[in-house]
Amino acid sequence: MAQKSKLRVIYRSNSHAPLWVVADKAGIWQKNGLEVDTSPQLIREKAVEALKNGHVDVISGNHHNLYERNAKNREDFAHLAQAANNWTDNRMVVADGIKRVQDLRGKKVAIDKLNSHSGLNVWLFLRQEGLDVDRGDIELVAVPGSSEERWKPVLQGEFGATFVSVPQDMRVARAGGRVITVRPMPMIRGVTLTTTMSFVRSHEDEIRRLICGLVDAIHFFVSRKQETVKILKNHLPGILHLETDEEIAALYDEWAQSLERKPYPSTEAIANVFALALRRNPEIADFNPLAMWNTHYVRELDDSGYIDKLYS
């Protein structure tokens, strides 16, 4: 057997782990002639510099912060594929008296960090709903730490709301709190294959195998539920602090509904993630966000008919 090609991948959040763990444990990389070493790197700057210096080959993530570097410094970072295009922190934990998003006018909302991806998501969602922090319609308060450190003060009346994903919404309900599910705003998030074009040009074969492996992993995840849930149950609780089979099932359902069978980014998700980049760096307004994306290899695989055959 020919020697497998090796790829070093780091993911920017433990929340990406479900798909990477399933791909590994289901033998997806071996099927595609790859040896993929995945590990977390939760510090954004270290992840980017590791990629730039060649210490890793691909990042899962870095969704909004590289537009500035490409725009200002003409660096060659590129996003190649997108596994999901929706914001999943769309469970709004609310204090007494809050029945809808508009009831938050004049209230305080707890977020992670003002300039983090999760915090900026809340800023953009509320602005799209007519609550603009810059006009003073609402106050965003940074409460860094776990989701629990934000939703517990909401239940105590300190904040009007905060936003969580599964399984935190289930824990809020068990604690006697109220959760309102709001619309799933389009957003680039989660497993985004990010690398540099210099790496792509010198490793086209590995990139093609990685894209095919991503498609295969998504197919396995959505079409082989029992096996996937077993993998998640055996390997995810320690990573994501899942406490019950019910939480694992809810996590699976969310992922299965969100995953793109054909891992293209949506135009709405790109527009929204670029709005986050502009919030941090308004001076790059003239940069075309599509310049960050190279979906050639997804399109190549799509045009071959491979993805359609998987689901036929």
What is the DSSP-derived secondary structure letter of residue 16?
G
Measured between alpha carbons, how far is 244 from 171 in angstroms, rounded to an integer? 11
Q: What is the mean pLDDT of residues 222-230?
A: 98
pLDDT higher than 90, residue 297: yes
CATH architecture observed for domain 91-181: 3-Layer(aba) Sandwich (3.40)
250 Cβ contact partners less than 8 Å away, ≥ 6 residues apart:
166, 167, 170
Average pLDDT for the chain: 95
What local confidence, expressed as pLDDT, does residue 12 receive? Answer: 83
Determine the average pLDDT of the residues in 65-78: 95
Average of per-residue pLDDT across 249-256: 98
Q: What pLDDT, on a 0 to 100 scale, did the predictor assign at position 1?
A: 39
Place domain 5-86+188-310 in its CATH homologous superfamily.
Answer: Periplasmic binding protein-like II (3.40.190.10)
With a cut of 60, say whether residue 2 has pLDDT above it: no
SS3 127: helix
Q: Is the dihedral of CA 117, 120, 124, 126 positive or negative?
A: positive
Is the bond preceding residue 263 a cis peptide, omega within 30 degrees? no
Q: Give me the pLDDT at residue 150, please.
A: 98
- Per-residue pLDDT, 84: 98
Q: From residue 257, give the alpha-carbon distance in Å to each of 180, 211, 225, 280, 287.
A: 19, 20, 12, 30, 32
What number is the average pLDDT over the span 248-276? Answer: 98
pLDDT at 46: 84
Is 91-181 in the same CATH topology as 5-86+188-310?
Answer: yes
Residue percentage of the chain with pLDDT more than 90: 92
Domain definitions of the chain by residue range: 5-86+188-310, 91-181
- Would the pLDDT of 151 be above 90? yes
Confidence bin at 42 (pLDDT 50/70/90): low
What tens digit of pLDDT does each residue of 231-242 get? 999 999 988 999
